[in-house]
A = this chain, B = another copy of it.
């Protein structure tokens, strides 16, 4: 049996998994994200010992994903000490001597959702994670979207929500961007209570669903995804889904006349079909692709 490696590279932990060709996860370990000189050897040792045939990486970004670039596969700008300009993909591919593919963590998750999850069979989808940060992965007309860099959906500018005492949000870069308004830490800063401790009927959720609905509207008018998948820790609050769906319809005001939005929105804005495994599954799919491309 061939063993594939999957690295979910995050700001706080590096999750290393192995899986089979059906993307079933066989084993998973977690390494705290320290300096590269500490974390990378551990990652290499793990995957080497498991004799993987290919590696897929879903990473925090921003990343250089331009295959023609001299710095292809590097993490570019990040405040994370030691990781700025780090050559994550070439470093691991060379040390492990296996074919490897990399994309953003959220593009990997979008890939998993369209191949095996909630967006299966479609040609486009948006995957958004709402947790410590907010990120989005995009597939359009069957392709992962990179473009100039790659989507950074967490930094979409949004209109102030009624009832929000802090409508400028908490992003150090942008006044009024999605992540600064709707990520877990923003909820906690705004209300002085951790998101997980806020009761379901707290106005916090009205404000939260307003921002996430505005993001859905702007995604719909910008690139018209066939499915919007919302994952991440904050979205474990399942009562958000009906609120976001209703508000998305209200904000669109009947302008986009498509039954998927006007009638079947319960099937349109949904939880990940793969639960919390979208990321690892996406990284395994990238590993399968790496192996196929290397043949």
- Spell out A's residues near B (CB within 8 Å): 62, 76-77, 123-124, 136, 138, 140-160, 173-174, 176, 214, 217-226, 251-258, 260-261
Residue contact A223 to B138, C-beta cutoff 8 Å: yes
Cβ–Cβ < 8 Å partners of A226 in chain B: 147-148
**When A and B form their complex, which 4 residue pairs have the shortest distance between CB atoms, in order from nearest?**
A147-B224, A141-B143, A173-B253, A140-B140
Residue contact A158 to B159, C-beta cutoff 8 Å: yes
Q: How far is the CB of A245 from chain B (nearest CB, A)?
A: 15
Residue contact B140 to A145, C-beta cutoff 8 Å: yes
Residue contact B257 to A62, C-beta cutoff 8 Å: yes
25 A-B pairs whose Cβ atoms sit less than 8 Å apart in the complex: A140-B141, A140-B145, A140-B147, A143-B143, A146-B224, A147-B225, A148-B220, A148-B225, A149-B258, A151-B221, A154-B221, A155-B217, A156-B217, A156-B222, A157-B214, A157-B218, A157-B251, A159-B159, A174-B251, A174-B252, A174-B253, A218-B218, A218-B222, A222-B222, A223-B223
Residue contact B222 to A138, C-beta cutoff 8 Å: yes
Measured between alpha carbons, how far is A174 from B253 in the docked complex, in Å?
A: 7
For the complex with contacts A138-B140, A140-B147, A218-B218, 9 further pairs of A-B residues with Cβ separation under 8 Å are A62-B256, A143-B143, A154-B221, A157-B159, A157-B214, A157-B217, A157-B251, A158-B159, A218-B222
Measured between alpha carbons, how far is A34 from B64 in the docked complex, in Å?
A: 51
Measured between alpha carbons, how far is A159 from B151 in the docked complex, in Å?
A: 20
Residue contact B224 to A223, C-beta cutoff 8 Å: no
With CB as the reference atom, state the residue of chain B lying closest to A65.
B224
Cβ–Cβ < 8 Å partners of A148 in chain B: 124, 220, 224-226, 258, 260-261
Q: How far is the CB of A168 from chain B (nearest CB, A)?
A: 10
With CB as the reference atom, state the residue of chain B lying closest to A253.
B173
Q: A141-B144, A255-B173 are in contact. Are A156 and B221 (CB under 8 A)?
A: yes
Q: How far is the CB of A265 from chain B (nearest CB, A)?
A: 12
Residue contact A149 to B224, C-beta cutoff 8 Å: yes
Q: A145-B141, A157-B158, A159-B159 are in contact. Are A255 and B220 (CB under 8 A)?
A: no
Cβ–Cβ < 8 Å partners of A141 in chain B: 140-141, 143-147
Q: A140-B141, A176-B159, A257-B76 are in contact. Are A223 and B222 (CB under 8 A)?
A: yes
Measured between alpha carbons, how far is A35 from B103 in the docked complex, in Å?
A: 50
Q: How far is the CB of A269 from chain B (nearest CB, A)?
A: 12
Q: How far is the CB of A94 from chain B (nearest CB, A)?
A: 25
Max count, chain B CB within 10 A of own CB: residue among A62, A144, A155, A173: A155
